[in-house]
Amino acid sequence: MAEQYIVEMKNIVKQFPGVLALDQVNFQLRPGEVHVLLGENGAGKSTLIKVLSGAYQENDGEIIINGEQVKINSPQDAIDKGLRFIYQEINLVPEIDIARNMFLGMEPMQSRWLGTVDQKQLYGQAAELLERFHIDLDPTEVVGKLSVTQQKMVEIARALTTHARAIILDEPTDVLEDRSRQDLFDVIDKLKADGIGFIYISHRYAEVYELGDRVTILRDGRNVGTFYIKDLTLDTMIEKMIGGEIKKQYPKLPDTSETNALRVEGLQRKGLLRDISLEVKKGEIVGVTGLMGAGKTELGRAIAGVDCIDAGEIYVNSNRVVNNAPSEGIENGIAYLTEDRKTLGLILDQSIRNNYAIPSLGRLSNFGLVQHARINEESQVYMDRLNIRAPSIKTHAGQLSGGNQQKAVVAKWLGAQAEVLIFDEPTRGIDINGRREVYQIMEELLAQGVGILMLTSDYQEALEMSHRILVMRRGSVVKEYRRGETTEADILREAIGQIDDGTRLAPIEAGKLDVFSDHQVDHNVADITHELIDKRRSES
């Protein structure tokens, strides 16, 4: 008797103009397993999931759900068949509250004839699901007031409002702190025991080994193979993804100049930034890290002129600048590469070429006339240099995979020829080869004398790609380390803020809410962070 799968995809083919995105791809999901889908950016992972969701229609192949061949014509078809999708980007309605977001389109009705919602049942069920995730939120809270982390947890809880047989998670932990990740992992384990299957997409390889049962690897739209996690070493897994031997991940950072590219003195923004002073030398990367909500992004936005400051001074090449708008920041030689590439980093319905040109139109124009040939030439150079996978420079940014969108953001600011680059989460959602390419570009920029302020929640990235590391907590810089002087545990200790007993992170006062943090801190946070560090080290 053939094995029964929750989901089976046979010989799936998906073509776009000029691109064969999926070429005879096979995939199966068993009840009660986490099946990890791996591949580089542009390998076909998101396309395969969008075919399963009904967002795309396959050109050939079969989809079988619970042993029955089906045709999924729309996202609602997928939901009706027991599939639930949680994408990398937040998909909530910010103007309505948590409970109504969780049950949107599936509200418990008091009277279907009158169309009245059973409010008591709606908010009661929402409260139960939030409690299951240890999310200390009021179901009546408006979603637009929540942090990104809180919104992601609400979205995950929403998947359980239906009788889902399979839950598809696309980079679900990308914006989550360690505590929230652990909550998610615990719930996944419980749901596996109930026979629910998970398709899990992630670039965090430690998560693959912690959660996964099997892994299917895609490369260039083809299925490289399906393997049991226990049978794959990390090196073998990555080699199958990239189709070759693993290269060195981090470049050797060059020596820095003694001249400042950027100097900030006494920067303040009420409730967000507290008296921050820092310097970035020419040819230097200064990494800024800390817990989510510590103020990293707020610092970058303030320096770039996206947000106005209440006090403080900013100098580029010793010249004092006034940044009251992003355009002024660009004119002053400061470029800000936002972490929110879809909303703030790119115009999705415009081409790679047009996105590249926007911040550089002044440079790419002569007497008010845009030099289109020059734009085409430069955008093609950066597309090749960053290995942006797309048919041409005329491809719309919205058609790119997440990682290639990130590289398109990098390309447009490299073209702006800024003297200070602020990278906000530069490699979030990017695969191992893409990360290496971004790091190599950073290395080239350093050789040209550019100063880089790198805002990152990836402590390993901060350690390996920074000449100096600044740790932020509650809107302040609380510690500075030089390269080679510190460890992940040291950074965590400073980021959380507590008394050190010499061996472990001391517990934080129970119930104390850090107003700059995205989640409630309790007695368990120290133990969890240490366990994750130890596990990551043992796996690497």
- Walking along the chain (540 residues) 10 residues at a time, the average pLDDT comes out as 83 88 94 92 86 94 93 91 83 91 85 81 88 78 81 79 84 69 79 90 83 92 93 85 73 87 93 93 94 85 90 90 77 84 83 90 86 93 86 90 79 84 84 78 87 90 94 93 89 71 36 30 35 44
Please count the structural domains in the chain. Answer: 2
Provide the residue count of the chain: 540
Give the residue from 187, 221, 242 where a domain finishes: 242
Q: What is the value of pTM for the model shown?
A: 0.62
Residues 6+ apart with CB under 8 A from 509: none
Q: From 367, 394, 416, give the residue that closes a domain.
A: 416
Which residue(s) pair with 505 in the sheet?
Answer: 500
In a domain, 94, yes or no: yes
Q: Which residues are CB-neighbours of 167 under 8 A, at least 6 positions away?
A: 84, 85, 86, 159, 191, 196, 197, 198, 199
Q: What are phi and psi of 310, to 5 degrees?
A: -90, -30
Give the per-residue pLDDT at 9: 96
494 within domain boundaries: no
SS3 labels along 89-139: CCCCCCCCEHHHHHCCCCCCEEECCCCEECHHHHHHHHHHHHHHCCCCCCC
**Is residue 59 situated within a structural domain?**
yes
Tell me how far apart the alpha carbons of residues 310 and 271 are, in angstroms, rounded to a whole number: 10
Cα(1)–Cα(535) distance, rounded to whole angstroms? 40
Contact 1, 49 (CB under 8 A): no
Q: Tokens 């042993």 map to which residue?
A: 67
pLDDT of residue 389: 83
Q: What is the pLDDT of residue 51?
A: 94
Residue 377 lies in a domain: yes
Provide the token pair at 479: 């510690």
- Per the CB < 8 A criterion, the answer to whether 379 and 276 are in contact is no
Contact 67, 29 (CB under 8 A): no
Give the helix/strand (H/E) hosting 432.
Answer: helix 432-447
**Coil vs helix vs strand at 158:** helix
The answer to whether 166 and 83 are in contact (CB under 8 A) is: yes
Q: Which residues, other chains included, contact 219 with Cβ-Cβ below 8 Å and sequence gap of 6+? A: 39, 40, 43, 240, 241, 242, 243
Helices and strands counted in the chain (H then E): 17, 24
Query: What's the Cα-to-Cα distance from 215 to each of 36, 49, 86, 181, 357, rounded to whole Å?
Result: 5, 15, 19, 20, 40
CATH number at residue 94: 3.40.50.300
**Which of 222, 242, 262 represents a domain boundary (last residue)?**
242
Maximal C-alpha separation, the chain? 76
Element (H, E) at 476: strand 476-482
d(CA 420, CA 320): 14
The reply to whether 182 falls in a domain is yes
Q: Residue 272's Cα: distance from chain center in Å?
A: 22
Range of the domain at 362: 346-416
80: tokens are 């009706």
**Domain co-membership, 237 together with 359:** no
- Looking at the fold, whether 237 and 351 belong to one and the same domain comes out as no
Residue 162: inside a domain? yes
Helix (H) or strand (E) holding 268: strand 260-269
pLDDT for res 259: 92
Determine, yes or no, domain membership for 91.
yes
